[in-house]
Amino acid sequence: MKRPTIVDIARRAGVSKSAASYALNGRPGVSAQVRQRVLDAAAELGWERNQAARALSAARAEAVGLVLARPARTLAIEPFFMQLIAGIETELATRSIALVLQVTPDIDGELAAHRQWWGRRSVDGVFVVDLRRDDPRVALLAELGMPAVALGGLGHHGGLACVWSDEPRAIGTVVDYLVTLGHVRIGRVAGRPDFLHTSNRDAAFVAAAERRGGVVPSIVHTDYSGEQGAKATRGLLSQHARPTAIVFDSDVMAVAGVNVAAEMGLRVPADLSVVAWDDSPLCRLMHPALTAVSFDTFLAGTQAARRLCLLIDGGTPGGLELPVGELIPRGSTAPPQGRLGPE
């Protein structure tokens, strides 16, 4: 028993092939009556449109791509990507657009993936994350003319559509909060310095410290792994004048930091205040629970997907600013105590 084609439907509905196609695609050119007959026939035969045939004639893959360009090791421990995927896919599913995934250790692999995807026309557009300064992907995608939406990286997304949130403002909120609590020496365990969001946060962190005056900021970069997060924390806490508060660039590194503090005999929050970024279930599980900056990654995903679809349909969506991350104070932050306190 062969799978039914559009010809079978047309025959059963007693119309031409093209009438069937128009009806099945909800386009004008057929009467309501004919449309219904065609739809009924399709339902009765259990017809599903052959995706390859449609892609070939409509010159549309009905798929979009996302490259995960991180080592598998740091990919899995970060909830970020899975939340992003969930958000993207939830939006795409409503439009019957497929999400194609490729995992590659670095940006060269990502460039190759974009080239091949576009060359084969196996996707209609892509998402770009972890934008960098003078990002080669921006140039490549412009050259290819492939629709793309960048997440974050405002100011360095070139001609790409962009979805971002005002992280500098959120960083400012965090610094203000810690300073108000009485902290003077504030550390930051940051992510990869080649990522734009890292350097943007770095700059905002330093600027906020300067704005408040008297604040001593110190920054250490990592690859987001718990190991490097722990090492960075150990380094900061071993300084002669150690920070009394540390802001971490991920939840896992914040957990690592808390455990390093315990290992060094420092109490959280009495001896060390800890702020995590982004917030996650993990932060709420800790004891004390971690103060964190929330970011709605799922929402970012749905919004980015919506814009990519618009772009593919020939629209020209402007940038979209997402709500700024919110500071959620929990038990891991408090005024500094002890001999190394403020003043």
User: Which residues of this protein are in contact with its own copies, per CB under 8 A?
Assistant: 3, 46-53, 55-56, 61, 63, 68, 72-73, 75-77, 79-83, 85-87, 89-90, 93, 96, 98-104, 116, 119-122, 225-227, 229-230, 252, 255-256, 259-260, 262-263, 280-282, 284-287, 298
d(CA 108, CA 192): 17
Taking contact as CB under 7 A, which single stretch among the options 46-54, 108-116, 197-205, 309-317 is the one that binds DNA? 46-54
Which H, E and C letters describe 72-114, residue by residue? HHHHHHCHHHHHHHHHHHHHHHCCCCEEEEEECCCHHHHHHHH
Please count the CA atoms within 13 angstroms of the CA of 152 that sit on its side-chain side: 22
Tokens at residue 340, please?
């190394």
Out of DNA, its own copies, none, what residue 5 binds, judged by CB under 5 to 8 A for its kind, is DNA
d(CA 223, CA 210): 27
Residue 118 Cβ, how far from DNA at the closest point, in Å?
A: 13
CB contact at 8 A, 75 and 103: yes
Is 50 an interacting residue with respect to DNA (CB under 7 A)? yes
CB contact at 8 A, 271 and 257: no
Taking contact as CB under 7 A, which single stretch among the options 42-50, 143-151, 228-236, 253-261 is the one that binds DNA? 42-50
Out of its own copies, DNA, none, what residue 30 binds, judged by CB under 5 to 8 A for its kind, is DNA
Neighbours of 255 (CB within 10 A): 22
Residue 201 Cβ, how far from its own copies at the closest point, in Å?
A: 22
**# residues contacting DNA (CB under 7 A):** 30
C-beta closer to DNA: residue 12 or 157: 12
Which amino acid belongs to residue 37? R
Contact string 248-277 vs DNA (x = CB under 7 A): ------------------------------
C-beta closer to DNA: residue 51 or 94: 51
Out of its own copies, DNA, none, what residue 21 binds, judged by CB under 5 to 8 A for its kind, is DNA
d(CA 146, CA 99): 16
Taking contact as CB under 7 A, which single stretch among the options 9-17, 250-258, 276-284, 303-311 is the one that binds DNA? 9-17
Q: Which residues pair with 248 in a beta bridge?
A: 189
Tokens at residue 280, please?
């996650």
Neighbours of 241 (CB within 10 A): 10
Contacting DNA within 14-33 (CB under 7 A): 15-19, 21-22, 24-25, 27-31, 33
d(CA 334, CA 318): 41
332: which DSSP letter?
Answer: T
CA angle 17, 20, 23 (to 5 degrees): 155
C-beta closer to its own copies: residue 44 or 210: 44
**Interface residues toward DNA, by CB under 7 A:** 2-3, 5-7, 15-19, 21-22, 24-25, 27-31, 33-34, 47, 49-50, 53-54, 56-59
